[in-house]
Homo-oligomer: A and B are copies of this chain.
Amino acid sequence: MTKSEANLHGVFAASLTPMDESLNVDDDAFATHCRRLLLDAGCHGLAIFGTTGEANSLSEKEKVSALESLVEKGIPAEKLLAGTGACSVTETVRLTRAAIEAGTAGVLVLPPFYYKDVSDEGIFRYFSEAVERVADERMKLYLYHFPQMTGGVGFEIPLIERLIEAYPDTIVGMKDSEGNWARIEEICQTFPGFETFAGTERFLLDTLEAGGVGCISATTNLTSRLAREVYELHKDGGKDEARASQKHLTELRNTMEGFPAIPALKATMRHLTKEESWRNIRPPLVEMDEARTKKLLESLPEGELL
C-alpha cells in the first residue's frame, strides 16, 4: 500500500478542546479552531478527543454532542479521527458508532486503562468485543498507544500483529505516543501498509521515511504549518530540504518542552488568538500560572506558530 492509498496520512493536530466558563465544550470556538487548523495551518486532518483534547475529562454524551456540532458547523467529518476509547467496551462501542454515523474517517482507541498489569489476551478480547459489537464495515480503527498515560497498558508488537491479523480491514493503523523512535521504526518495518502515526512531530520525517504515514501531535496545534512543509518536502523527494525543515520543526517543538503540555498549549492559544475560551480547562488539569505563562510566551517564536 502506498501512502496515497492509506485511509489517513499526513499532519494531524491532536486538537485542543476550548471550553466556556462553566467548563462545557465551547462548540463555536471548537469549530473555529478546527477550521483554522485545517484551512490555514496546514493540517491534513485532526484527531479530536485525544489526550490533548481532554477527552477523558468529557463524558460520552459531551463527546457525541461536540462531534455532531462540529459537523453541523461545516467541519468536514472525513478529516476527523475521533478518540472513542473508554475503560468500558460498551461506551467505546457507542462512541465509535456515533463517530461512524457522523462520517469521521476513523476512530482512535485507547486500550482500557483502569485495570493495570492486564494481559495481551485481555486487551485483545476488549478490541475483539469492540469490533464485533460495532459490526460496521465502515469502521477504521487506529490503536492509541500511550503507556505513560495509561499506566503501562499498551500495545506490544505481538499484540498489534494479532489484532491486525484478526481484523485486517478494520484495525488499520496506530498512533504511537510512547516517544520511543526504535519502537515506531520497528512497527513501520514489521507492518507495511499499517498506518503508523508518530505521536510527536519530532519523528515526522523519520516516520515517513520508515514507511509510516505521518504524525498526530499535541504541539501540532501550533506547529502544523511547518510540519506540513516537512511532509510536502518529503513527498517531493527533496531529502536535504526535508531534513533541514525537520530540524527547524524539532527546534520549534522543543521550545515548548518542560511546560505542562495542555495548559501550555491553551495559554499560548489564548495569547495568539485572544479567544476567551482558551482560559478554561477541566480538572484535574489546571491552567498555567502567570509566571510560567510569561516564560513560555517569551521563548516562543510567534511568527512561526499556528
The chain B residue sitting closest to A127, CB to CB, is B283
Which chain A residues (259-306) contact chain B, with CB distance < 8 Å?
Answer: 282-286
Q: Please indicate the chain B residues that have their CB under 8 angstroms from the CB of A122 in the complex.
A: 283-286
A88 close to B59 (CB less than 8 A): yes
Interface of A is mostly: loop
Of all chain B residues, which has the CB nearest A128?
B283
A114 contact set on B, CB distance < 8 A: 51, 56-57, 113, 149
Within 8 A of B (CB), among A105-152: 111-116, 118-119, 121-126, 128-129, 148-151
What 7 A-B pairs are tightest by C-beta distance, nearest first? A122-B284, A56-B114, A151-B151, A125-B283, A126-B283, A118-B284, A56-B87
- The CA-CA distance from A58 to B285 in the complex, in Å, is 25
In the complex, what distance in Å separates the CA atom of A94 from the CA atom of B268?
Answer: 33
* Number of residues on chain A facing chain B (CB within 8 A): 42
Of chain B, the residue at the smallest CB distance from A118 is B284
CB distance from A271 to the nearest CB of B (A): 22
Asked if A216 is at the interface (CB within 8 A of a chain B CB), the reply is no
